[in-house]
Amino acid sequence: MTTRFLGDTGYLLGRSLRHIARSPDTIVTTTIMPIAFLLLFVYVFGGAIETGTDSYVTYLLPGILLITIASGIAYTAFRLFMDMTNGIVERFQSMPIARSAILWAHVLTSLVANLISLVVVLLVALLMGFRSGAGVTAWLAVAGILLLVTLALTWLAVIPGLTAKSVDGAGGFSYPLIFLPFVSSAFVPTDSMPGPVRAFAEHQPATSIVNAIRDLFAQQPVGADIWVALGWCAGILVVSYAIAMNIYRRKVS
Burial class, 131, CB count within 10 angstroms (exposed 0-12 / middle 13-18 / buried 19+): exposed
Residue 169 and residue 85 in contact, taking contact as beta carbons nearer than 8 Å: no
The confidence score (pLDDT) of residue 68 equals 93
pTM (predicted TM-score): 0.89
Q: List the domain boundaries for the chain.
A: 2-252
- pLDDT for res 99: 66
Q: What is the pLDDT of residue 92?
A: 62
pLDDT tens, the chain, 253 aa long: 566 666 667 767 777 777 776 766 667 777 888 999 899 888 887 666 766 666 888 899 999 999 999 988 888 888 888 877 776 666 666 665 666 777 888 888 888 889 989 999 999 999 998 988 888 999 999 999 999 999 999 999 999 888 888 877 777 878 888 889 999 988 988 888 888 999 999 999 999 999 999 999 988 888 888 999 999 999 999 999 999 999 888 877 6
Q: Per residue, what are the HEC states of the chain?
A: CHHHHHHHHHHHHHHHHHHHHHCCHHHHHHHHHHHHHHHHHHHHHHHHCCCCCCCHHHHHHHHHHHHHHHHHHHHHHHHHHHHHHCCHHHHHHCCCCCCCHHHHHHHHHHHHHHHHHHHHHHHHHHHCCCCCCCCHHHHHHHHHHHHHHHHHHHHHHHHHHHHCCCHHHHHHCHHHHHHHHHHCCCCCCHHHCCHHHHHHHHCCHHHHHHHHHHHHHCCCCCCCHHHHHHHHHHHHHHHHHHHHHHHHHHHHC
